[in-house]
């Protein structure tokens, strides 16, 4: 009951966020045109004439996560697991997001693990869940919590772990300009938080060397 209530609470909060009224497409394109003019360039020159439309199309792709319900995404689960109750781990899920402070890329990888309690979900749905939240304006700490909390609320597992390692272009290409720096965040719930051995096993699995399949 508590997990169901948590899922409903997450869904309501997400609906309030994603159902905001959007400006018309023409207004968005006009805003891009204004920014081009603000940089000092001419939006009517040949190379830039189609840029406002292209930028808006790109934004539709970059931020499509606002149009998808993450709770519904995980709704279809499977109970025929032959009583499998050990760790399920996905390593190195590609992360492409945008910093909400400067709207520049956040690039990295996500590791997810959960301990099933009678139900599992298709692994592509977990990767898609990462995309749903990543394709929104984000800070890494919030992104990490959203992924973990949604899995926990919908699947009701015995534990969830999410670790994100990412580089932030707002730090590497502007401002302090420190390339090569990555940020690591994690959220541990259930047994990953309370059981040191489970936590150690998970962290060991995601740090183990990868085979080169190329």
Structural domains of the chain, with CATH: 15-62 (1.10.286.10), 75-207 (3.30.1130.10)
Greatest extent of the chain over all pairs of C-alpha atoms, in Å: 64
Only one residue has tokens 């994603």, namely 18
* Residues annotated as catalytic (active site), given as ranges: 99-102, 140, 168, 170
For residue range 34-72, what is the model confidence (pLDDT) as tens digits?
999 999 999 999 999 999 999 999 999 999 999 999 999
Percent of residues, the chain, with pLDDT higher than 70 = 90
User: What 3-state class would DSSP assign to 176?
Assistant: coil
Q: Which pair of tokens denotes residue 124? A: 């592509």
C-alpha–C-alpha distance, residues 162 and 73, integer Å? 18
Element (DSSP H or E) covering residue 172: helix 169-172
User: What 3-state class would DSSP assign to 154?
Assistant: helix
**pTM for the full predicted model:** 0.88
Is the four-CA dihedral 88, 94, 97, 102 of positive or negative sign?
positive
101 vs 121, 137, 165, 183, CA distance in Å? 33, 8, 19, 16
Are the C-beta atoms of residues 66 and 18 closer than 8 Å to each other? yes
For residue range 33-44, what is the model confidence (pLDDT) as tens digits?
999 999 999 999
DSSP line for 61-91: HHTGGGGS-HHHHT---B--STT--S-EEEE
Mean per-residue pLDDT, 183-188:
97
């Amino acid at each position: 009951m508590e997990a169901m209530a948590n899922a409903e609470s997450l869904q309501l909060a997400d609906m309030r966020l994603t159902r905001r009224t959007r400006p018309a497409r023409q207004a968005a394109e006009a805003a891009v045109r204004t920014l081009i003019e603000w940089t000092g360039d001419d939006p009517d020159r040949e190379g830039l004439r189609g840029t406002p439309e292209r930028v808006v199309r790109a934004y539709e792709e970059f931020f499509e996560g606002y149009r998808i319900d993450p709770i519904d995404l995980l709704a279809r689960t499977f109970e025929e697991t032959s009583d499998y109750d050990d760790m399920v781990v996905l390593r190195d899920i590609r992360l492409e997001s945008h910093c909400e402070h400067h709207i520049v890329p956040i690039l990295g990888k996500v590791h997810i693990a959960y301990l099933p309690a009678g139900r599992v979900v298709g692994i592509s749905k977990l990767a898609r869940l990462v995309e749903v939240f990543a394709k929104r304006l984000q800070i890494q700490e919030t992104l990490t919590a959203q992924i973990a909390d949604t899995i926990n609320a919908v699947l009701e597992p015995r534990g969830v772990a999410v670790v994100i390692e990412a580089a932030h272009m707002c730090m590497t290409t502007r401002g302090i300009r420190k390339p090569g720096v990555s940020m690591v965040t994690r959220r541990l719930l259930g047994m990953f938080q309370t059981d040191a051995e489970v936590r150690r096993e998970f962290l060991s699995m995601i740090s183990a060397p990868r085979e080169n399949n190329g």
